[in-house]
Amino acid sequence: QESRFRPNAQSWAGARGLMQVMPATARQFGIAGLYDPTNSMDAGTAYLEYLQEYWQSIPDSTERIKFILASYNAGPGHVEDARRLADKFGKNPYLWDKNVAEYLLLKSKPLYYNDPVVYYGYCRGSEPYNYVKDIMKRYEHYSRFIEEGVVPEQLAVR
* Residue-wise pLDDT tens digits, 92-128: 999 999 999 999 999 999 999 999 999 999 999 999 9
Share of the chain above pLDDT 90, in %: 83
Question: Does the predicted model carry a pTM greater than 0.75?
Answer: yes
Helix 126-147 to helix 61-74 angle (10° resolution) is: 130
- Concerning whether 147 is annotated as a catalytic residue, the answer is no
**What is the predicted pLDDT for the residue at 157?**
46
